[in-house]
Amino acid sequence: MTDFEPISGRYLKVSIEGASYRIYVEEAGKGIPLLCLHTAGADSRQYRYLLNDAEVTSRFRVICFDMPWHGRSDPPDNWWLTTYELTTEHYLAVIRAVWKALGIERPVVMGCSMGGAVVLRVASDFQNELRGIIGLESAAYAPGRYNEFLNHPAVHGGELVATYTFGLNAPSSPERDRRANWWYYSQSGPGVYRGDVMFYSFNFDAREHIKTIDTSKCKVSLLTGIYDYSCTPAMSQEVAKAIPGARYTEMENIGHFPMIENYPLFRTYLLPELDVMATG
């Protein structure tokens, strides 16, 4: 008997800021839309366990997509004439375009790392249209990840980026899953991780925006791993303090990539937050 996973994947053609994009979208389940954003330089394969979690997909329509330039999505036309550098406003435009093209109403938007950062702006900018956000490893301002070797002719970019991020996993997370994330990172296009980190380190600052989030309109849950030294628990706590009504939980024995590095442990933290999102 053929053993297919309950995940469907398709390509979505969408116009963003005057350019045409071909974006890979995969989903599983029915119910409340849960739109998931991957980390810098990676793709939505990081959410493979979530997409296969029947307890989640029985209540949520889990939707994941690869950002342009990432994973199975294509870069825009004439990409070779530009240098990829992500900006906050373009990131928001991509998320918004995918969300609207899919006809999603009142989604929960969950993101990790750079996705966990941008969901704070998603909440501040579009809170009247959301059910809530779940920020994994979320910081409102997190400079410091950039270095000049992320796209350097003398360095193997795939191995550098994969190993640079490998240390952000908790040492107790299963090696199989830490290595899976390493593999996803090793397949990143030249300069893509650098372009994402340009956003994360230099362009993004939501410290004032988060003060406008009204949790009576848009629920906010923040989950951060204790081993994360890129977005530390203290950084996420600062976000929670700035948003009255936000929920914050520090995750034991988890690092920067909870949804892929140790999903069985992560889901014990995630399920209560999904319960919160499902109410009201």
In order of 214, 231, 251, 258, the CA distances from 226 in angstroms are: 27, 10, 6, 11
Query: Do the Cβ atoms of 62 and 27 come closer than 8 Å?
Result: yes
Beta strands 8-16 and 19-28 are antiparallel
pTM of the model: 0.96
For residues 209 and 149, the answer to whether their CB atoms sit within 8 Å is no
Q: Tens of pLDDT along 80-124?
A: 999 999 999 999 999 999 999 999 999 999 999 999 999 999 999
Res 52 pLDDT > 80: yes
State mean pLDDT over 50-70.
Answer: 98
147-176 confidence digits (pLDDT tens): 776 777 777 778 888 998 999 999 999 999
CATH topology of domain 8-278: Rossmann fold (3.40.50)
Cβ atoms within 10 Å of 133's Cβ, excluding its own: 31
Tokens of 247: 């929920």
- Distance CA(237)–CA(243), nearest Å, equals 10
For residue 160, CA distances in Å to 104, 127, 191, 194 come to 37, 38, 11, 11
